[in-house]
Amino acid sequence: MTGNIVTGAAEAGDTGTGAARAGYSADEIMTVTASRALRDRTTCFVGIGRPSEAANLARATHAPNLVLIYESGTIGAKPGWLPLSIGDGILAETADAVVSVPEIFNYWLQPGRIDVGFLGAAQIDRFANINTTVIGADYAEPKVRLPGAGGAPEIAGSCREVIVIVRQTRRTFVERVDFVTSVGFGDGPGSREYLGLTGAGPRKIITDLGVLEPDPATCELVLTAVYPGVSVPQVRERTGWDLQVSPGLAEIEPPSPSELAVLRGLLATMPAAGGAP
């Protein structure tokens, strides 16, 4: 997933992302990076939006045997275009099996039978706890009331590993989330075990600037890789805590022409792009 070790020049203050100059967008390299994190012959619990884009890109490129599982009960879906929702008919039409939502959660997810879960976040903190419930200290009268949990707490708790994909801003990357919707590493080492969570928790936080991963000892998120042209000061500027940087900080390989072609082809299937219905 990562390439060469970043040189001092990048850390010294190259504040451009380099994406536009290289012919791809920040969203495109984020999606491609997320797709590369998925391995062939594994199972992936997929959400709609960028997680679905990344998972379908992976299946169309390096992971043709990736098993896509959607919350609606479709197992092994092979959509010919990006689904509009978990209820899109193309998921059931192309699935190996369709089961009930209770079975997806009670039999597949909670016992740890799913390898990877994809999540987004409205807020995420230094221990990878996720908030998708409320913004503001008062739950009864928040500044913003968000869509809520859905299946995210079960995904965060029970998938063998979790990947979070989210744009990086100080509003999103906060010292402490206003509400813990989905537990990452709680208050630090030992929290997941204390709560009885069986999955390993978030393994990668993939943003529009690079990748953060939990430190094995402290469970705190550490910057481990950046995109071409992204500097460490730039990432720290968009983080609401004193972000630590891996000594082996790497530069992520840019999207290949073939990855971009497949991704853009998938995006062109969306109705707004005039593609598939």
DSSP letter, residue 173: B
DSSP letter, residue 218: T
Amino acid in the structure at residue 211? V
Q: Give me the DSSP letters along 21-82.
A: HHT--HHHHHHHHHHHTPPTT-EEEE-SSHHHHHHHHHHHTT-TT-EEEETTTEES---SS-
Determine whether 10 is exposed, middle or buried from the number of CB atoms within 10 Å of its CB (0-12, 13-18, 19+).
buried
Cβ neighbours around 164 below 10 Å, total: 25
Clarify whether 71 is annotated catalytic: yes
Alpha-carbon span 275 to 277, nearest angstrom: 7
* Length of the chain as a residue count: 277
Contact 181, 132 (CB under 8 A): yes
Amino acid in the structure at residue 171? R
Catalytic residue among 71, 154, 251, 259: 71
Contact 22, 241 (CB under 8 A): no
Contact 206, 161 (CB under 8 A): no
For residue 26, give every residue at least 6 positions away whose Cβ sits within 8 Å of its Cβ, in sequence order, or none. 17, 19, 208, 209, 227
> Would you please indicate which residues are annotated as catalytic (active-site) residues?
71
